[in-house]
Structure 1
Amino acid sequence: MTHLTNHLAGQAAEEAVEADYVRRGHRVAARRWRGSRGEIDLVMRSDEGLVFIEVKKSRSFARAAERLSRAQMQRIYGAASEFLAGEPDGQNTALRFDVALLDQSGQMKIIENAIGF
């Protein structure tokens, strides 16, 4: 796959995940939010708080999950901490970290609270 093809596939995956969360009552807080420590694919808001979502697409769910490294989890956590600086409750904001896995057929698996520190 070319870089452009990968980019477009990733963007389509993120849009599918966003639509799934919106259907379940979440609102978009940010897309591809970038801080000095890293990028977060999606930040969704619900009545319970914020959901930081990392989207991974590959041939299979297992292959997609393997693409999430410990270093990347640390970057996501750091970027989320930066994002929280702009929230009214700051670091005390209720939140969770989800991972959305997509396989080559477009099937989706959401793992809530997938990243914990």
Structure 2
Amino acid sequence: MIATKEAEAMVIEVESTTLTAANAKEFKAALEPYLDAEMNIVINLNRVTFLDSSGLGIFLFCLKKLNQKGGDVKLCNVTKPVRVLFELVRLHQIIEVFNTKEEALASFSHT
């Protein structure tokens, strides 16, 4: 995971190609300090080509934790297979998904 502080939000780039039960717990543990310290987070999924319910659960966990303190999580650079899954489970209606990191960051300045 690569974390970069931007003016609008912390950008987290997932380095793995999958987010599944096999690695979800360690990814979530690595995310937690950022969830505690930041109000707004953008998760860059440009390398992720597969995720399961454990991976989906991480995004909902992030959303809940940040919403509790008035923050938000947004996703960007979602690959086609992951986007299909998001639409299937309607996650894109709960968490905003953007084509680029820049679009996701810009959306924070409009809220």
Larger proportion of strand: 1
Same fold (TM over 0.5): no
Compare CA radii of gyration and give the structure with the larger one: 1
TM-score class, shorter-chain normalisation, is 0.3 to 0.5
Where relative contact order (Cα < 8 A, 6+ residues apart) is larger, the structure is 2
